[in-house]
Amino acid sequence: MTLTKRIIPCIDVDLDENGDAKVYTGVNFEDLQYTGDPVEMARAYNRAGADEFVFLDITASADGRETMLDTVSAVADEVFIPLTVGGGIRTKADIVETLRAGADKVSINTGALQRPGLITEGAESVGSQAIVISVDARRRYDEGGEHYEQVDGESCWFECTVKGGREGTGTDVVAWSAEAEERGAGELFVNSIDADGTKDGYDIPLTRAVCDAVSTPVIASSGCGGPEDAYEVFTEAGADAALAASIFHFDEHSIDEVKRYLDERGVPVRR
Amino acid sequence: MQVTIIDYGVGNLRSLQRGLERADATVTVSDDPAEIAASDALVLPGVGAFGECVRNLAPFRDVVVEAAADTPVLGICVGFQLMFTESTEGAPEGETIDGLDLIPGRVERLPSDEVKVPHMGWNELTVERDHPIVDGVASKTPQADGDYAYFVHSYGSSVADHTVAACDYGFDFAAIAATERGNVMGTQFHPEKSGDTGLRVLRNFVAFAEDWNDTTVTAE
C-alpha cells in the first residue's frame, strides 16, 4: 500500500584537465575532492541497493556537454534503477537529448526559474514523471516571503538561489514548488544551501514546508550525516526520498546500513 | 536467444535493451514489420498516454496480434496495458479506447482518494499463480516482504484470472499478467529499472522464450 521511502546516492560530475568526466565531492561546500569514476561509482551503487541514482553535471562550460551525455549513456548502461540527470538543462531539446542518452528523469533548476514555461513544455513532451524540479533554498530572515517556524523558535522564509547559492532570486521556495507542481513537475528535489556539507541533518522546516505545499513526491537533499538524519527527514518532514552524497562516497555509511536503521524503526524501505 | 524490441517511437529503449542483453539475449530494436514478424520473441515497450501509443502502434498492430498466437511476447508498462481489451485513458466519459485484446480486461485510472497518483516508486509483488515469468520472485506474505519492483503509472487493470502477480496501491492491480496459453505476458512495472528483481524477470522471459521455441520446433 505505502510506497517505500527511497535512498538515493548522488554524484557531482565535472571534467578533469584531460577532459574526462570525473566525480567530485564537496567538503564544506567548496573544497571539491576527486572521488572516482562515474561509471564505476554507478555500478557500485546499483549493486549496493540504491533505489535511484542522481547524476549532476557540474561542468561550467558548454563544451563539456557532449562528453557528459556520453558519460550519462555509459552510466545508464550500468544502472538498472531509475537515473536522474541534472545540470545545465535550459531547453526542451536539452531535456529530450538527456533522456535519449539514457536518463529516466531530468532535474531542472535555473532553467525553470528563468523560464517557468520550460516545465510545462517538458511535461507535455516527455511526461511529468520525467520532470524533476530542483531548488537550492537559502534561509532568509527578512520580510521577503512567508515565514516558517524554525526548531529553535526563530522564523525565516526560504529563497530560491542560483549559482550554488551565491545569487538570490527573491523567489519563495514554497510558492515556487507549488507553481512547479501546477505546471507539471513530477517530483521536487529540495536542496538546502544552509545544510549543505554540514552533516548536521536535512533542513527539516524547509522540507516540511515544501511537503505540506505539494502532493508530488519530495526528495530531500543536503546535510545528511547518517541514518538518523534520513529517519528524521522521513518521519518529521514527510519526505518521500532522501538523497546523500559524501556519507556514501567516503564510506562513512553504507546504503544497507541506512536502510536497516529505517527498517528497524518501521519506515518502509526496499531491502 | 534473439529478442526484438518493437520500436514504434515511444521513448528511450536503451535500458530495456541493456537489461535484455544482461539476460543473455541478442537484442534487435526494429521498426520493420517483416523483421518483427520473423522474430523468436518480442518485447512491446510503451511510455506516455495509451491513446498515443495505440496510434503509434497502428502500423504494427496486425503483426503483433499474429505473433501473439505462437510467439513469446512481453509487454512493459503502457506496452502491457496495450495488451488488454480496452482502456479508459484519454477516452470521453463512459467510453474506452481499444487495445490489442490479447488479455481480457479493462485498464482504468488508479483511484486517487487515498494515494498519490501517479504511482511512482518501489512497491511489493504478491505472486498469485505460477508462471515461468515469476520463477524465483519472492511473494509478499503476512510474514515477509515480497520482492520490490519500480512502477511509474497512473492507470492499471484490476486483479483477475490472468493475473500472475498483484500489487496493492489503493486497490489491487495486475503487476504481471499472462494469457491462458502462457506465451503472452506483461509487467506493469519497469523490469529494466527494477534492480535485481527486474533483471530476474527479464532473464525468466528470455529462458521462457528459449523453452517455448525449442518445444514448438520439436512439436512440429
A104 belongs to the catalytic site: no
Residue B184's pLDDT band (boundaries 50, 70, 90)? very high
What are residue A269's phi and psi, to 5 degrees? -135, 160
Which among A76, A186, A270 has the least Cβ separation from residue B15?
A76
Which among B19, B118, B168 has the least Cβ separation from residue A1?
B168
Matching CATH number, A6-264, of 3.40.50.1980, 3.10.20.30, 3.30.420.40, 3.20.20.70? 3.20.20.70
User: In this structure, are residues A135 and A214 in contact, taking their beta carbons and an 8 Å threshold?
Assistant: no
Q: State yes or no: cis peptide before B33, omega within 30 of 0.
A: no
Angle ∠(A50,A51,A57) on CA atoms, nearest 5: 75
B190 belongs to the catalytic site: yes
For residue A148, give the C-alpha cell: 516558517
ipTM of this complex: 0.89
The verdict on A254 touching B (C-beta cutoff 8 Å) is no
DSSP state of B158: B
User: In this structure, are residues A132 and A186 in contact, taking their beta carbons and an 8 Å threshold?
Assistant: yes
Residue B217's pLDDT band (boundaries 50, 70, 90)? low
The verdict on A271 touching B (C-beta cutoff 8 Å) is yes
Question: What domain range includes position B155?
Answer: 2-219
DSSP state of A208: H
pLDDT of residue B186: 98
pLDDT at B95 over 90: yes
Name the active-site residue from A57, A136, A172, A203: A136
pLDDT at B206 over 70: yes
Q: Which long-range contacts (CB under 8 A, 24 or more apart) does A104-107 make?
A: A104/A130, A104/B12, A104/B15, A104/B193, A105/A129, A105/A130, A105/A131, A105/A132, A105/A186, A105/A187, A106/A130, A106/A131, A106/A132, A107/A54, A107/A56, A107/A132, A107/A133, A107/A134, A107/A189
Check CB contact under 8 Å for A186 and B199: no
Check CB contact under 8 Å for A1 and B170: yes
For residue B178, give the C-alpha cell: 499472462
Residue B94's pLDDT band (boundaries 50, 70, 90)? very high
**Contacts of A41 by beta carbon, 8 Å cutoff, 6+ apart:** A11, A23, A35, A249
Check CB contact under 8 Å for A76 and B150: no
**Contacts of B218 by beta carbon, 8 Å cutoff, 6+ apart:** none
The verdict on B66 touching A (C-beta cutoff 8 Å) is no
The residue to which cell 466519459 is assigned: B93
Q: Count of CB atoms within 10 A of residue A214's CB?
A: 19
What is the DSSP pairing of strand B148-153 with strand A31-36? unpaired
Check CB contact under 8 Å for A1 and B115: yes
Domains in chain B, number: 1
For residue range A149-198, list pLDDT tens digits in order.
776 678 999 999 998 888 999 999 999 999 999 999 999 999 999 998 88
pLDDT of residue A114: 95
The sign of the CA dihedral A112, A118, A120, A126 is: negative
The residue to which cell 485498464 is assigned: B107
Distance CA A181, CA A215 (A): 8
pLDDT of residue A200: 92
pLDDT of residue A1: 58
- Structure-model confidence comparison of residues A32 and B87, the more confident one: B87
Q: Helix, strand, coil: what percent of chain B each, to 5?
A: 30, 30, 40
What are residue B33's phi and psi, to 5 degrees? -55, -35
Show the low-confidence residues of chain A (pLDDT under 70): 1, 26-31, 60-63, 151-152
CA nearest to A14, candidates A82, A76, A79, A67: A67
* Amino acid at residue number B213: N
Closest CA of chain A from B133, distance in Å: 18
pLDDT of residue A193: 93
The verdict on A44 touching B (C-beta cutoff 8 Å) is no
Distance CA A185, CA A84 (A): 14
User: In this structure, are residues A271 and A7 in contact, taking their beta carbons and an 8 Å threshold?
Assistant: no
Distance CA A41, CA B191 (A): 22
Check CB contact under 8 Å for B15 and A51: no
pLDDT of residue B34: 95
User: In this structure, are residues A70 and A62 in contact, taking their beta carbons and an 8 Å threshold?
Assistant: no
DSSP state of B9: S
For chain A, which residues make up each domain, given as ranges? 6-264
Closest CA of chain B from A137, distance in Å: 25
Check CB contact under 8 Å for B194 and A99: no
Check CB contact under 8 Å for A99 and B198: no
Helix (H) or strand (E) segment spanning residue A71? helix A65-76
Which among A80, A99, A240 has the least Cβ separation from residue B195?
A80
User: In this structure, are residues B157 and B46 in contact, taking their beta carbons and an 8 Å threshold?
Assistant: no
Name the active-site residue from B89, B108, B128, B192: B192
For residue range B100-141, list pLDDT tens digits in order.
999 999 999 998 877 888 899 999 999 999 999 999 999 999
Nearest CA in chain A to B144: A271
User: Measured between beta carbons, which residues in chain A are less than 8 angstroms from residue B199?
Assistant: 80
3-state SS, residue A82? coil
For residue A72, give the C-alpha cell: 550519462
CATH of the domain at B196: 3.40.50.880
pLDDT of residue A236: 96
